[in-house]
A = this chain, B = another copy of it.
Amino acid sequence: MRIDSPDNPKVRAWRQLSQHKGRQEAGLFLVEGPHLVEEAIRTGAGVESLLVESGRDISPFIRSSRLPVVEVSARVMKALSETVNNQGLAAICRLPAGEGPTPKAGRFLLLDGIQDPGNVGSMLRTAAAAALDAVVVGVGTADPYSPKVTRASQGAIFRVPMAVGSVEEWLAGLRAAGVRCLAADGATGRDFRELGRLESFGLVIGNEGAGLRPEVLALCDERVRVPMPGGIESLGAPVAAGILLYGLVLGPGNMLDGRQA
């Protein structure tokens, strides 16, 4: 199949995938560029079709997937792409169906109202790298299937299970499963090194500006913080989440050196 016109009905339909509503109605999302497309294929995500700009090569790996290819004109690719220098390749993927992850013993990151797509993508990347059991994408958090988050995640959306839902319900479920629930806080709370390595935890990161909601704090066992001896007020959500997650997964617990922020 080959599509030349941006007015083609299929192209019009794919353009709706840049919006949350369009993705939900179609049950599809679009990822751009060789790295994301290869990650989608490699991880067995449900790729419906590949969109390849006329005259562009695709890698032997992508070719060997034998997925349906739609050849599109440069104008069509430009209409679908959110980047200035699109790389002439995209994939239409199916949103995960079925129940998805549920609360249980394990290691979980919960994002509560993280608005910046770059921050959400970065934290998904860290969660995937640290091999967490799932990331809970709470209400008010940027949609992980939006173009900006998929790009910032560098494909981590395909590597870590995600649950879109209520942070409060998840916290209640985790606590019922005996999982220790921690709220990341820049100012107060226990130095994360005191916790050491935890086989099970739920770590909540709150909104970049407003911080943690009282309803969420009420459901957590305690607050946890990264010590900041240098007199800085906060580290930014992705860096703080990275240090905390790696600390809880790898466990620097017994290395306290007496320096307190």
Instruction: Report which A residues bind B (CB closer than 8 A).
Output: 122, 125-132, 154-156, 159-160, 193, 196-197, 226-236, 238-240, 242-243, 246-247, 250-255, 257, 259
Q: Provide the residues of chain B in CB contact with A229, threshold 8 Å.
A: 129-131
Complex CA–CA separation, A7 to B226 (angstroms): 47
A112 smallest CB distance to B (angstroms) = 19
Question: Can you list 12 A-B contacts with CB-CB less than 8 angstroms, sorted by A residue number?
Answer: A125-B232, A129-B226, A129-B230, A130-B229, A131-B259, A154-B233, A243-B243, A243-B246, A250-B257, A251-B255, A251-B257, A254-B255
Complex CA–CA separation, A215 to B236 (angstroms): 32
Complex CA–CA separation, A238 to B119 (angstroms): 11
Q: Provide the residues of chain B in CB contact with A193, threshold 8 Å.
A: 250
Once the chains bind, are B122 and A239 in contact (CB under 8 Å)?
Answer: yes
Once the chains bind, are B247 and A197 in contact (CB under 8 Å)?
Answer: no
Once the chains bind, are A122 and B250 in contact (CB under 8 Å)?
Answer: no
Contact partner, A125, options B129, B196, B239, B250, Cβ 8 Å: B239
Once the chains bind, are A197 and B257 in contact (CB under 8 Å)?
Answer: yes
A20 smallest CB distance to B (angstroms) = 24
Complex CA–CA separation, A239 to B233 (angstroms): 18
| Chain B residue at minimal CB-CB distance from A253 | B255
Complex CA–CA separation, A206 to B129 (angstroms): 20
Q: Provide the residues of chain B in CB contact with A231, threshold 8 Å.
A: 128, 159
Q: Provide the residues of chain B in CB contact with A257, threshold 8 Å.
A: 197, 250-251
| Chain B residue at minimal CB-CB distance from A196 | B255
Complex CA–CA separation, A80 to B125 (angstroms): 37
A125 smallest CB distance to B (angstroms) = 6
Given contacts A197-B257, A232-B154, contact A239 B130 (CB under 8 A): no
Once the chains bind, are B247 and A252 in contact (CB under 8 Å)?
Answer: yes
| Chain B residue at minimal CB-CB distance from A256 | B250
Most buried by B among A156, A240, A255: A255
Q: Provide the residues of chain B in CB contact with A253, threshold 8 Å.
A: 255
Contact partner, A159, options B156, B230, B238, B239, Cβ 8 Å: B230
Q: With contacts A197-B255, A243-B243, A250-B257 known, what are 12 further pairs, Cβ within 8 A?
A: A122-B238, A122-B239, A129-B232, A130-B228, A131-B259, A154-B233, A154-B234, A193-B250, A235-B242, A236-B238, A238-B239, A240-B242
